[in-house]
Amino acid sequence: MNSEPKYWIIVASKDHVKTGLAGGFAQACHGKASPLKRMRKDDFLIYYSGKQTMGRPEACQEFTAIGKVVDDEVYQVRVSEDFCSSRRTIEFLPGRDVSILPLLSGLNFIQNKKSWGYPFRFGFFEIDRHDFEWIASRMLTEDDVPTH
């Protein structure tokens, strides 16, 4: 089995990201399990928030959390009477929110810099190590950058 970590982007509104940050968990694609099952222990993830609040138009356009997957378990939580969400346990790093705009030119996963929002419409996708390190270097202090 490949021991190299993978690197993921999850798209969620900033208010939802901060809830996960406080609770030490990640959700993706409105609570679906399948994206979370692609992640493995010791993979890394970065949240991108296009919006401040789900369902509202106020733009955010920031990377809003960064962390490491701590185990291989996907679990479910009943969020309300009619909604169960799949989650992963995440060790979040003490990162700061960073605008995507000054980072665009250095991101490999954004091929068309004029239509840079296109990849985010999928809600969950893998990025390469270079892109992870490029974003992480802006979000984290030097002491907090993960070693592989």
Q: What is the pLDDT of residue 144?
A: 58
Q: What is the pLDDT of residue 78?
A: 86
pLDDT at 28 over 80: yes
As a whole number, mean pLDDT of residues 42-62 equals 95
Q: What is the pLDDT of residue 107?
A: 97
pTM: 0.91
Q: Cα–Cα distance between 113 and 129 in angstroms, integer? A: 19
The CATH number of the domain holding residue 69 is 3.10.590.10
Establish if 148 belongs to a structural domain: no
Please name the amino acid found at residue 98.
V
Establish if 1 belongs to a structural domain: no
Establish if 85 belongs to a structural domain: yes
Beta carbons within 8 Å of 55's beta carbon, 6+ residues apart: none
pLDDT at 81 over 90: no
Structural domain boundaries, residue 52: 7-143
100 token code pair: 């995507």
Q: How many domains is the chain partitioned into structurally? A: 1
Establish if 72 belongs to a structural domain: yes
